[in-house]
Amino acid sequence: MNDGNGGGNGGGHDARALVFRPLRLGALTLRNRLIRSATYEGLGDRQGMPRVEELTRLYCDLASGGIGAIVTGFTAVSQDGRAMHSGQCGFDSEAKADAWRRVREAVRACDPDVPMIAQLAHTGRQTLETATGKPVVGASSRACTYFRQPVHALDEVGIERIIEAFAAAALRARDAGFDGVQIHAAHGYLIHQFLSPWTNRREDRWGEKDRFCLEVVERVRERCGPGFSVWIKLSGEEDRTPGVRIADTVRTAQRLESAGVDLLEVSYGTMETALNIIRGACPVNVILKVNPLFSHISPHWRPLWKAVVGPKHLYRLKRFTPNYNLAAATAVKEAVSVPVAVVGGIRSLDDAIQCLQGSGGPGLDAVGLCRPLIREPDLPARWRNGAASKSTCTNCNLCTVYCDGAVPTECRTPHRAADKGRSS
């Protein structure tokens, strides 16, 4: 299968050139194959209003750091779809879209060649009623063991309202000058809840697992027109059984291709075992300190909690390995013609090259980076300028854990003296 982007074997070409070739995605052209994967910024106020100056600074740093495209952190399409994270931005009102327009214009002034894609999400059961002020809703009433909230299964009216909320948010993003949207169908959020047999236990027409996802994409596509890029992020697999398996994701991807998505990004997992989405260290003491779901546990009980919960959940996590979602993304790429990206564990130029060249299958079209860019927004430029250096991200995961507190996302591990001066 060929999308005209030559996603396959790099053959005798300079391997670096594979990474720094442009990528055509429908009406959009990316200057290289490196995408800033969606990363919660913690730069919204309590109502989800974007903090324009800070967001502009963050994205301008990424743009001047050489990235090919920027996907924003997840933005809520409706109030009941807000996350537990108090700094999450929204795209659920004209006022918020207006703030995003100012961000978009400022980033374009920094660098006109970096497309910006708004990630649109509804959390479904993965939130707290205290965070949204609304009943928690889901594909069915099965509660999430992490958030432990009663979940109200959506009825037809609720489902239609949320499909419409995705389409309205996408239109706002388009009118605010964004180049596209990425529909968040991964990580156990509402669309993933419909995709998964673990959470979709419906017996009505929405029991067809990818129906909701497809209807969201079709409505967004229809509302925003053909010139607007529509991306989607999927979890290739998840931890639960019965849950999403790669054969299901491949089938969903094929149907999404027919529905007109421009890029599929493959990730992993759900928030029920959130650390398996990202892998690496499990900073349990910090989790107990800052995560509102656990911070109520008194210091007295913490050793017992760690002894009981630790072995069951925390210490049996999947190990971090470079390119840990590459096999899943390759399986998707083999089955579709639409461009496919992977995210998860890309840390060096060689990792990126391996994804694009292919390993046991066709090469992918793009790679997503998250934690490395929180630490070193100029990593793409360094790679482009000849440095073969590996990201100094240690996967300590403090960036992630602190997302659960009310602070902006940042790297909290000091740079070693030897690394100083590598980053601007």
Ligand X SMILES: Cc1cc2nc3c(=O)[nH]c(=O)nc-3n(C[C@H](O)[C@H](O)[C@H](O)COP(=O)(O)O)c2cc1C
Nearer to ligand X, 74 or 212 (CB): 74
233 part of the interface to ligand X, by CB under 6 A: yes
Residue type, 99: A
- Phi, psi at 301, each rounded to 5°: -90, -10
Q: Considering only residues 68, 70, 74, 87, which one is a binding residue for ligand X as defined by CB under 6 A?
A: 74
Q: Amino acid letter at 355?
A: C
Q: Under a CB-based contact definition with an 8 Å cutoff, are residues 74 and 119 in contact? A: yes
Closest approach of Cβ 138 to ligand X, in Å? 18
Q: Among the candidate windows 14-22, 284-292, 304-312, 367-375, which touches ligand X by CB under 6 A?
A: 367-375
Contacting residue, 38, 136, 153, 264, with ligand X by CB under 6 A: 38
Residues of span 255-294 touching ligand X by CB under 6 A: 267, 277-278
Under the binding rule (CB under 6 A), the answer on residue 126 touching ligand X is no
What is the nearest approach in angstroms of ligand X to the Cβ of residue 341? 11
What does the chain come to in residues? Answer: 424
Pick 25 or 186: Cβ nearer ligand X:
186
Number of H helices, E strands in the chain: 16, 12
Q: Is 369 in the site for ligand X (CB under 6 A)?
A: yes
Q: How far is the CB of 367 from ligand X (least distance, A)?
A: 9
Q: What is the spatial distance between Cα 421 and Cα 19, in angstroms, rounded to a whole number?
A: 24
Distance of closest approach, residue 297 Cβ to ligand X, in angstroms: 23
Q: What is the DSSP string of 229-240?
A: EEEEEEES--SS
* CA distances from residue 230 to 114, 183, 257, 303, 366 in whole angstroms, order as listed: 16, 7, 11, 47, 15
Judged by CB under 6 A, which stretch of 1-9, 36-44, 45-53, 58-66 contacts ligand X? 36-44
Which residue, 116 or 370, is less far from ligand X as judged by CB?
Answer: 370
Half-sphere exposure of 307 (CA within 13 A, CB side): 5
Regarding 400 and contact with ligand X (CB under 6 A), the answer is: yes
x/- letters, 95..124, toward ligand X (CB under 6 A): ------------------------x-----
Measured CA to CA, the distance from residue 232 to residue 243 in angstroms comes to: 19
Contact 267, 235 (CB under 8 A): yes
Helix axes 246-259, 326-335, angle to 10 degrees: 50
**Is 399 near ligand X (CB under 6 A)?**
yes
Does residue 409 interact with ligand X by CB under 6 A? yes
Among 93-101, 252-260, 282-290, 363-371, the segment contacting ligand X (CB under 6 A): 363-371
Q: Where are the beta strands (DSSP E) in 318-363?
A: 340-343
The interface with ligand X within residues 160-189 (CB under 6 A) comprises 184, 186-187
Instruction: In whole angstroms, give the CA distance from residue 194 to residue 201.
Output: 9
Q: Which two tokens stand for residue 208?
A: 């067809």
- Residue 94 near residue 173 (C-beta atoms within 8 A): no
> Which helix or strand (DSSP H or E) is residue 60 part of?
helix 52-64
Residues 306 to 345 in contact with ligand X, rule: CB under 6 A? 343-345
- Closest to ligand X by CB, 153 or 182: 182
Number of residues this chain uses to bind ligand X (CB under 6 A) = 26
Question: Does residue number 40 form part of the binding site for ligand X (CB under 6 A)?
Answer: yes
- Chain residues that interact with ligand X, rule: CB under 6 A: 37-40, 73-74, 119, 184, 186-187, 233, 267, 277-278, 343-346, 369-372, 399-400, 403, 409
